[in-house]
Structure formats: structure tokens, C-alpha cells
A = this chain, B = another copy of it.
Amino acid sequence: MDKIYIIGVGLIGGSMAMDIQSLNPKAKVYGIDTNDAHLDQAIDLNVIQEKATYEDLIHADLVILSIPVDTAVKVLPKILDVISDTTLVVDVGSTKLPVCQSVESHPRRRNFLATHPIAGTEFSGPKAAMTGLFQKKTNIICEVEKTTFKLQEKALKLFSDMGMRIRYMNPEAHDKHIAYVSHLSHISSFMLGKTVIEKEKNERDIFDMAGSGFESTVRLAKSSPDMWTPIFKQNRANVIETLEEYINNLKGFKALMEADDFDEIYNEMKNTNHIKDILNGIA
């Protein structure tokens, strides 16, 4: 796969572009982005080599779609309209059901592979791109059986060369579980940041007291609203369910505090401590 087109030259698309170029020196990487300044930046940073347009996609061996999930569902069918029979199109969005549904009856459905590489940072844009971002990360692939076998093989070879391990899952299960382990973490972090910032309006000094624990729990509150608003919108039902459970657990903790039941508060924390062992399983 020598002709690579990255649609959305941000953190994920840009990092993939960089890995592909270092894995295959013959590869030529083109960028498509609504933000022209990002394209220029991406060229300056050697993330991509040239700008391109949707009409050029007929020449593509590989198209990576890495734009906000609300735009992705609109753009994907149009991409499939213009590619060649041998082009592989991969999306990397954080929700999977809507994007799979957007092309379920498209005549070129078999050229598309739905993926979610569980990798990233709280930063965005081409400057955030880096080589090796996907090393030892999990890539979730949905509806693999709907992609042509030959293109599946090419995709798996690429992901393997990037250092990713693969998990297969149906899009419904993906969206449900990812709400717990990713989307809820972002909301908990944003609301923690909000709670403390609201306090800070009157109490300027409060942040001098913040340590690494606070920094760690609010890190995700730096994330891009442009990326995350469409994710929450597309995964609305699952996210509301996780929020409901999270709020109930917090209310329960507060009720124990109010009832002075510190034995049970101890137990709550002790029972959750085994998150240590679980996290040890995450590379």
C-alpha cells in the first residue's frame, strides 16, 4: 500500500501517517482536511507529504478516515462512492454503530473496515501526532466479516506492523462497553474540572494546593469538545446509562458519609482497590 490518504490530519490520523512512512519508505502520504492551516502544519512537520482532494481518492491504496464521528458518517459513503475496487478504507472513530450503519447497504461496503484504536492523548491537531503511538495498544475491529478478505489481510498486516493487538467485537457491544471505560472517564473528568473551577471563581488560591492526584483525574478535561460532543451524541443512550450508575454510586458514597458509616466507606474503597490488578492487565 503505497498511496495513502489521511482524511483529518490530527492526533490519530497524523500518528498513523507517521508510522506508515517509517514502516514503508516508498509510501506517499496525502492529507485532506477542512482546516487548511492544519494541512500546512502537517506538511511542515513531515506528518504528510502533500495536500489532496476527495477526487484524488480513486488513486488510493488506503484511506484513513480520522475526523469527528458526526462528520465521519456523512463523509464515509461519499468516499466509498469515489474509490477504486482495490482501495481499503479504514475509520478510527470512538463510536462504531453509527458509522457501520452509514454504509451497511453501500455497494462498496466490502472496501470498508471499522476500527477503533484505543490510543491517544488529551491533545489534538497535527502537532499532537507522534510515531509509535499505537505500540502495544488494542485495536477493536467491528464487523470484520463484512470486509473483503484480501483487504482485511492488508489492514491486519499494517496494524500488526504498528504494534497493535486486535480484538473483534460487534458495533453494539463496542459502543456499550466503551461508554464505561472511556466516555464516562471523560465526563467524570470534565465535571470534576468544572466543580473545582466554579469554586475557584471566589477562591483564587485553590490551585496552588492541587497535586498530581488532581492533575491525573482532570487530565481528560483538556480534551477537544469538537471531538467529544459528537461522540456523546452518537453514544447518547449508553453514556446516559453509565452516568446514571456513576451518579448513583456517588450518591451512595455521600449517603454513607452523611450517615457516618465509615466502616462501609472503608469497604467501598477496599473493594475497589482491586482495580490495581485490573489495571496491571492494561499495557
A residues at B contact (CB < 8 Å): 118-122, 137-138, 140, 167, 174, 177-178, 180-182, 184-200, 203, 205-223, 225-226, 228-229, 232-233, 236, 239-240, 242-247, 249-251, 253-254, 257-258, 260, 262, 265-266, 268-276, 278-279, 281-282
Q: Can you name the residue of chain B whose Cβ is closest to the Cβ of A218?
A: B275
Question: Hey, which chain B residues are within 8 Å of A268, CB to CB?
Answer: 190, 194
| Top 7 A-B residue pairs of the complex, sorted by shortest distance between their CB atoms | A225-B269, A118-B211, A181-B210, A185-B217, A193-B275, A193-B272, A191-B249
A254→B244 contact, CB < 8 A: yes
Question: Hey, which chain B residues are within 8 Å of A251, CB to CB?
Answer: 247
Question: Hey, which chain B residues are within 8 Å of A211, CB to CB?
Answer: 118-120, 137-138, 181-182, 282
A254→B240 contact, CB < 8 A: yes
Number of identical protomers: 2
Question: Hey, which chain B residues are within 8 Å of A119, CB to CB?
Answer: 211-212
A278→B207 contact, CB < 8 A: yes
